[in-house]
Amino acid sequence: MLKGFEVVYLLNFVDEHGTRSRSHGIPLHLLDLQAEAFEIPIVHVRTTWDDYERNMKKAVEELKTEGVEGGVFGTVDLIEHRVWNERVW
């Protein structure tokens, strides 16, 4: 827990084959090891680039039903990424 927030899930989008992260191409087994080290469950969502936004919205809605109230995203220093994340969340 950090300043009143608790990280309860990690959300990751993977390629259509379910073997690598969609954006950075990181092998899933490495991401699973990181999640295990943090003792935080990781949710992997398969997606194409064309379906990325739709699948992101769906995943966020599912996490909200689990009580998740917010998200932390990378690359928010790029205004286009920040605007997109705020719109989709």
Dump pLDDT digits (tens) for 41-87: 999 999 999 999 999 999 999 999 999 998 887 776 788 888 888 88
Query: Is residue 74 assigned to a domain?
Result: yes
Closest CA to 69 of 3, 17, 9: 9
Token output for 38: 């943090």
Q: Which pLDDT belongs to residue 76? A: 62
Q: What pLDDT is stored for residue 58 in this prediction? A: 96
Is residue 82, in this structure, part of any structural domain at all? yes
Phi then psi dihedrals of residue 63, to 5 deg: -65, -35
Range of the domain at 46: 10-88
Give strand pairing partners of 44. 12
Q: Give the chain's domain count.
A: 1
Alpha helices in the chain (DSSP H): 28-38, 52-65, 79-88
CA angle in degrees (0–180, nearest 5) for 63-69-72:
85
